[in-house]
Amino acid sequence: MTLVLGLLLTGVSAAMVRQSAEDDARAKFLQDVDQTTAAVQTQIDRYLARINDIGAFVAHDPTASQQTYRSYVEDTNVFTQLRGVVGVFFLHLVPEDQIDAFVARSTEASPEFAFLLLETTHPAGEPYYVLSYYAPGAVDLQLPVGTDARPIDSVRELVEASRASGDAVAGSFQDDPLIERIAQETEYEMFSRMLELDFFMGVPISGPSPDGTGEEFIGWSAATIDDFGTVLADATPDAGDLGMRLTIDLTDTGGNENLTRATLREGSAGAADQASFSAMRDLNVRGVDWHLEVWAGPDAAPTPLSVPVIVLAGIVGSLLAAGLMFLRVRAHDRERLFAAAMADTAQMQQAIVDSVSDAMVVVDADGKIASANPAWRGLWHPERPADDGLVGDLGHSYLARMAPAVRSARSALDAGVHGVLDGSMRVAETDVALEQGSRRRWFAVRVTPLRSESGGAVIVHTDITERKRSQDELELKASHDPLTGLLNRSAFEGEVAVALQQA
């Protein structure tokens, strides 16, 4: 009876140790998933933000030449920093009664601009969607600048959906009947290449209205995407022990049959159907839905060595010895596994945070800094060496740390951080100016919730000083005479109109 009881107790204790190890491994995995999700979401947002920046350039200088546009795109390093982007283009929405003047201006600015209709008769009252700018990357589609893209259903429907929602959209050329027909009936390599691309994403762009009283939708800035698995590789370079599948939901305009695109990164985790743990996270980045599946390999929860030890002790020992061994081993293993899991989690979390090039902090539910990357340290302590161990003002209030230097949009920053932390806001974005001594820098601050039981948020600071400076220079050039430095006629008339309205 003693041996039977001993074996029974040994079996139960071994199962409990195994379950405890599995629970600890699962907890570590879920923490890794949260950090990985935050890094992937940040990387996707960088894609859409860069597309928006390029579109903003067109809005500020709508008469720029094709060469000027391509030079600006090259200066953004979009093709080297965001490897999935293989081309960018801009579609101008031109009302029917303004098309002649638009074509004349575009032809004067860029001799290569050639207005091209893809349909024999343009529908009366309908606007034109003119491909006004194109800059190729790794895949040159040789898109003819000046083409009216209105007959291309996949493009027109997405532009209209983006215009109506004000959000980014994603689509593909594969299900477009016009492109498929031209690709089958002609030998134009351009259309075959379009059908081979993964998808394209675009954002709506607004500019000054003709009467100067506000802003209105002027067009659509977009990028062609190919091999978007680089999104995972660039966002999580140190997560090779996790398998990932990233899926994007293409915007449903009622005409596409295949509305998803997916990319896979198995790493050392192997196939998803052999995973020890798996989790799915849904993301919505500027209106585009993404789904990130993450899994750990079959060896993520190994059986502790203490299990066979407990079994052997139960066989050769007494009930008391087996029970005592179980208690000691269980306590020891739980402490060891917990310590190892916490150490691995902290290391994984910091590695992911450190891999982000923009200044990034993770705050807890009280708004105190829980983790930060070297870029944040460099923002406040540029004199410190890179290996001094200081990575941020841990334990201090984030808003209190920012307050002395923020000179613009402070209330918006406070409201955004508090709104995300208390759950009243899904995402908060604002541009702030930081003044440190005589130096002023602009940052685009994005606050997103940290999906964990304890709450918190991830705050990313993207340096947009050069973009602000470029915008200011463009606005100055657009409103002042280059020889005299005085307001030009258009700007002067605008100032007079404002003064008259205020009088």
CATH of the domain at 450: 3.30.450.20
Among candidate residues 228, 255, 281, the one where a domain is terminated: 228
| 55 occurs within a structural domain | no
pLDDT band at 152 (very low <50, low <70, confident <90, very high): confident
Among candidate residues 337, 352, 367, the one where a domain is terminated: 352
The kind and range of the H/E element at 118 are: none
| 189 occurs within a structural domain | yes
pLDDT in tens, 418-440: 999 999 999 999 999 888 777 88
pLDDT in tens, 84-125: 999 999 999 999 999 999 999 999 999 889 998 888 888 888
> How far apart, in whole angstroms, are the C-alpha atoms of residue 112 and residue 135?
13
Q: Tokens representing 191? A: 């259309």
- Please state, rounded to an integer, the average pLDDT across all residues of the chain: 83
Same domain, 224 and 239: no
Q: Looking at per-residue confidence, does 169 or 384 come out higher? A: 169
- Comparing CA positions, the residue from 38, 41, 53, 87 lying closest to residue 463 is 53
Give percent of the chain above pLDDT 70.
82
Q: Which residue stretches of 61-188 are H helix?
A: 66-75, 78-81, 99-109, 153-165, 177-185
Same domain, 361 and 336: no
| 156 occurs within a structural domain | yes
Q: What was the pLDDT predicted at 208?
A: 83
Same domain, 211 and 332: no
Same domain, 315 and 340: yes
> How far apart, in whole angstroms, are the C-alpha atoms of residue 129 and residue 141?
18
Q: How many domains does the chain have?
A: 4
Mean pLDDT of 43-70: 94
- Comparing CA positions, the residue from 194, 148, 157, 202 lying closest to residue 174 is 194
| 57 occurs within a structural domain | no
Q: What was the pLDDT predicted at 273?
A: 87
Q: Looking at per-residue confidence, does 317 or 70 come out higher? A: 70
The pTM of the full predicted model, rounded to 2 decimals, is: 0.57
Q: Looking at per-residue confidence, does 297 or 256 come out higher? A: 297
Same domain, 116 and 198: yes
Q: Is the pLDDT of residue 6 over 80?
A: no
Q: What was the pLDDT predicted at 4?
A: 74
Domain that holds residue 495: 472-502
Same domain, 310 and 200: no
| 364 occurs within a structural domain | yes
Q: Which amino acid is at 295?
A: W
Using a 10 angstrom Cβ sphere, with 0-12 exposed, 13-18 middle and 19 or more buried, the burial of residue 414 is middle
Q: What was the pLDDT predicted at 362?
A: 92
Q: Is the pLDDT of residue 1 over 90?
A: no
Phi, psi of 236 (to 5 degrees): -130, 65
Mean pLDDT of 442-450: 93
Same domain, 367 and 401: yes
| 452 occurs within a structural domain | yes
| 164 occurs within a structural domain | yes
> How far apart, in whole angstroms, are the C-alpha atoms of residue 23 and residue 26?
5
Among candidate residues 352, 377, 398, the one where a domain is terminated: 352
| 482 occurs within a structural domain | yes
Same domain, 216 and 175: yes
Same domain, 80 and 195: yes
